[in-house]
Amino acid sequence: MFLLQAFDYSVANLLLSVVNYAYWILFAFIIASILFSWFPGYPSSSFMQAVYDAVRAVANPILMPIRERVPMLQLGGFGIDLSPIIAIFGLVIASRLLEIIIEQFVRPITG
């Protein structure tokens, strides 16, 4: 804590940065999962397959519980998966709530 204050940086700012980075990283993984879902087969190169598996490993624990509870929206002959939209909306709400908690409760204590 003293090291952070020596560089004129507060714990609240550090926590806000962590929340912000976590939000954008999870957002990017969900968007990448959407893009990969448009191409149902595994990628041919081993590098892209590793990226595909990493994206699925991060996005599936977020999206699968939503997919189990919210059915696909059927439009004619195809369905639309609403789980990424709900997950991103949930991420926005969670991120904002954490920012409010940090601003209201952590910043007054830590300065």
**Whole-number Å distance between alpha carbons of 29 and 106:** 29
Residue boundaries of the structural domains of the chain = 2-110
**Whole-number Å distance between alpha carbons of 102 and 111:** 11
Q: What are 24-82's pLDDT values in tens digits?
A: 999 999 999 999 888 777 667 888 888 888 999 999 999 999 999 998 888 888 888 89
- Got the DSSP string for 20-88? HHHHHHHHHHHHHHHHHHTS-SPPSSHHHHHHHHHHHHHHHHHHHHHHHHS--EEETTEEE--HHHHHH
pTM listed for this prediction: 0.84
- Predicted confidence band of residue 10 (pLDDT cuts 50, 70, 90): confident
Cα separation values, 70 from 6, 64, 65, 86, Å: 49, 10, 9, 9
